[in-house]
């Protein structure tokens, strides 16, 4: 009976981890192999292939980022990002309700993560703009990158951007 409960628990845990999208494996100091959806931060973990599916690594070439990129959000808004080679960024986001956010700040790439710290944010619509000078930190994850197109994720938003100017 205990064995059946243990097998059921392992199967339910694995099903939950699969639903979450990723399973990792790691070996502890005593040589025991573990599986889970959140490996400890102090160990080297490897993502497990599920049914032959494994996320392809995204290689982002920092030298190819500078330039102007334009695209649409999954909610219908538009995004225009100007990455400058000196590490600064200008970012305009227009929402479906026609409100506009303008960001200016600095960007930093680490692996496939993009961090942006703003110097200011202007928000408005209908001819009215408010400016905020409190820094805001934004974080994006690249899920696709080439010299001509990229896909960024942040929260529930996905952005597919195409290069429009070098």
Q: Are 160 and 72 in contact (CB under 8 A)?
A: yes
Instruction: Look at residues 93, 87, 54 and name the one whose alpha carbon lies nearest to residue 71.
Output: 93
pLDDT value, residue 8 = 44
Environment class of 86 (CB within 10 Å of its CB; exposed 0-12, middle 13-18, buried 19+) = exposed
126-160 pLDDT, tens digit per residue, is: 667 788 878 888 898 998 999 999 998 887 778 89
> Residue 104 and residue 88: Cα distance in Å, rounded?
7
Both tokens assigned to 23: 């399973």
- Could you identify the residue written with the tokens 């934004």? 138
- Taken in order of first residue, the domains within the chain and their CATH numbers are 2-47 (no CATH), 62-165 (2.40.128.280)
């Amino acid at each position: 009976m205990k064995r059946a409960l243990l097998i059921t628990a392992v199967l339910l845990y694995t099903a939950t981890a699969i639903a979450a999208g990723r399973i990792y494996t790691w070996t502890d100091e005593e040589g025991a192999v573990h599986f889970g959806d959140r490996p400890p931060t102090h160990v080297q973990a490897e993502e497990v292939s599920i049914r032959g599916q494994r996320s392809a690594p995204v290689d982002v070439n920092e030298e190819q980022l500078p330039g102007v990129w334009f695209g649409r959000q999954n909610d219908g808004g538009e995004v225009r990002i100007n990455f400058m080679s000196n590490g600064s960024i200008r970012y305009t986001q227009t929402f479906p309700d026609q409100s506009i956010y303008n960001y200016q700040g600095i960007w930093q790439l680490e692996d496939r993560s993009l961090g942006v710290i703003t110097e200011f944010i202007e928000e408005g619509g209908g001819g009215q703009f408010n400016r905020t000078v409190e820094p805001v930190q934004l974080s994006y994850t690249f899920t696709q990158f080439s010299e001509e197109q990229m896909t960024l994720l942040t929260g529930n938003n996905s952005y597919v951007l195409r290069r429009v100017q070098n």
